[in-house]
Structure 1
Amino acid sequence: MSSNLALPDYPLDDLRVVTARTELAALSHPLRDTLLDLLLERAATVGELATAVGRPPSTVAYHVHVLLDAGLLRVVRTRRVRAIEERFYGRTARIFYIGQVPVDALGRMTSPVADAAAESAPAHHADTLRAILRHARIPRERAAEFWDRVFELTREFSALPRGGETTYGFVAGLYPTTYPSLPDPADAADEVGGTDGSGTREVS
């Protein structure tokens, strides 16, 4: 696990497994997803979040309260400005991991890979996109082990010190496919008998 977990600037749990319908519903809106992402950097007020996303404070306040009600956000500190008490909101966990999703809730959730594909289109056209796609026929257990390593890399990316002028996106996915694969060598040898390497059987 990465040792660089200084961000954000408030205490929070490392991982929260999300399974409740209220939690899943709260995570299913793209603006709420953006707000949660912003709060990985530091705690922020509704006004700061509204400025960041270019939306009216009333709209952002509504979505913040949805996340509060779902237990995904909390007030981490307050500050009195003149006669008004400002609230700073933070996440309740560094990572919200989607657990078992009820079948009837799947239709309301978007795929992070699909979202990233749409978001990365301008970078693709500008030739500034770094991406790779590979396929491997491996046992389910090895896939789970590999995903754990990717998950740790995601933690590291999320905790990088903020700086520069560009916000980068990072997406990772691991999923079963119907992609073709070569047969096992032993199976291939049994299938063709003895061959000369060209796929034709030798006749003695």
Structure 2
Amino acid sequence: MSINHRFPNYDLSDITEVTAPAQLRALAHPLRNAILELLLERAATVSELAAALDRPKSTVAHHVSVLVDAQLLRVVRTRRVRAIDERYYGRTARIFRVGTVSPTEAGDAPYCTNDLATAAAESAAAHQADQLSSIVRHVRIPREQAREFWARVLELADDYAQLPRGGDVVYGFAAGLYPTDGPALPEAESAADPDRP
């Protein structure tokens, strides 16, 4: 029996670094991402996932199989239903952190989705209805500080995933941290400069 009292309702690792090309390709498909997202709430059967996604059971079963083969999903429990074992699938980690992979290993296949592009497409209707909350800030900081900040964002995203379920609307939360060619001010002059007015 699981002693996990957080969402989802089964035990799993907090973070797994994903570097294998098969795993990266598995994460690059939007339907597989949707499956992984649903399983952040609770374990589910292929039938439940197919109903939630409004997709054929055979299609969802194929994508679940790809995720299982990539070790991103696993069977977390079974239930006997009319002489058939019904399998409940769960993630292997709350967060899949994409690690470094060489171009030779990755091949030509895309291995990373642009989650901000997905969020932009999903949020278009909310923007039109004036129900979108968003913000963009640009800051010149060292790479290590950017990594530390991103770790805090991941903690916030996990907190968001733990909010009690209720209501009838699914709200999306998107975050991104990326280098830009944006302008930056030069370093400020020292206040101790005697020539400063």
Q: Secondary structure at the match of 2:94?
A: strand
Pick closer, same or farther for the CA change 1:167–1:184 going to 2, 3 Å.
Answer: same
SS at match of 1:123: helix
Paired position in structure 1 for 2:165: 162
Report if aligned partners of 1:23, 1:72 keep a CA contact under 8 Å in 2. Answer: yes
Match of 2:81 in 1: 81
Flag structure 1 segments of 5+ consecutive residues without an equivalent.
197-204
CA offsets, 1:44-79, max 9 Å, x none? Answer: 000000000000100000000000101111111111
Aligned residue identity for 2:80: R
CA contact (8 A) 1:5 1:159 kept: no
Structure 1 residues 52 and 174: CA distance shift in structure 2, 3 A: same
Residue 175 in structure 1 maps to residue 158 in structure 2: no
Aligned length: 188
Deviates more, 1:89-98 or 1:4-13: 4-13
Deviation at 1:149, TM superposition (A): 1.2
Confirm or deny that 1:119 pairs with 2:122: yes
Q: 1:185: which partner in 2?
A: 188
Partner of 2:135: 132
Q: Is the 8 A contact 1:9 1:43 kept in 2?
A: yes
Structure 1 window deviating more from structure 2 (101-110 vs 144-153): it is 101-110
**1:5-40 deviation per Cα after TM superposition (whole angstroms, max 9, x unaligned):** 611111111111000011001111000000000001
Please list, as runs of the form range in 1=range in 2, the aligned pairs for 1:1-204 lying within 5 A after superposition: 6-103=6-103, 105=106, 108=110, 109-186=112-189
Which amino acid in structure 1 is aligned with residue 94 of structure 2?
R
Q: Which moved more, 1:9-18 or 1:99-108?
A: 99-108
In the alignment, the residues of structure 2 paired with residue 145 and residue 31 of structure 1 have an alpha-carbon distance, to the nearest angstrom, of 30
Q: Which consecutive residues of structure 2, in runs of 5 or more, have no partner in the other structure?
A: none
Distance 1:172 1:110 in 2: 14
CA distance in structure 2 between the partners assigned to 1:172 and 1:129 by the alignment: 14
Structure 1 residue 107: deviation in Å? 5.9
Aligned-residue CA RMSD (Å): 2.0
> How far is 1:83 from its partner?
2.1
Note if contact 2:23-2:70 (Cα within 8 Å) is conserved in structure 1: yes
Kept in 2, the 8 Å contact 1:6–1:159? The answer is yes
SS at match of 1:186: coil
Q: Which moved more, 1:38-47 or 1:175-184?
A: 175-184
Alignment TM-score, normalising by the size of structure 1: 0.86
1:77 aligns to what SS in structure 2? strand
Moved over 4 A (4+): none
Instruction: Please tell me whether the aligned partners of residues 12 and 93 of structure 2 are also in contact (alpha carbons under 8 angstroms).
Output: yes
